[in-house]
Amino acid sequence: MMLLTGARPGEVLVLRWEDVNTQWKGICIRDKVQGTREIPATPYMLHLLATLPRRNEWIFSSPTTATGCLTEPNNPHTRACKAAGLEGLTLHGLRRSFSSLTEWLETPAGVVAQIQGR
């Protein structure tokens, strides 16, 4: 999700199912700069979210944490990257990759800044 939206790790971890608007295809992200921002959700993003289990109100839930949401994704992320042969790719690197991809697509910088909450 971070690669597809450019969101910060902390913004993704606190997403709730109520933040996803399937009718208008948007996601409400709580950020540290503006408070909240609404970003577009592609059909592919909505498809990926629909495959996640709905254990509680959190999109990225965890049955083993006291809060019920995933709090420290670094270890699973590192294991997944190692299995895929992508060692050294950080969570924040996914945000930077989104920015690089938008440059390649020649997306206007202002649009990218709004989506990323900069």
Structural domain that includes position 11: 2-113
Residue at 34: amino acid letter: Q
**pLDDT tens, 67-83?**
999 887 778 888 888 99
* Residue 111 DSSP code: H
Tell whether 118 is covered by a domain: no
Q: Give a yes or no: residue 101 inside a domain.
A: yes
pLDDT, tens digit, for every residue of 8-46?
888 999 999 999 999 999 999 997 777 898 999 999 999
3-state secondary structure of 102: helix
Looking at the structure of the chain, the number of domains it has is 1
Strand order in the sheet with 26-31: 20-21, 26-31, 35-40
pTM given for the model: 0.81
The answer to whether residues 69 and 61 touch, using CB atoms and an 8 Å cutoff, is yes
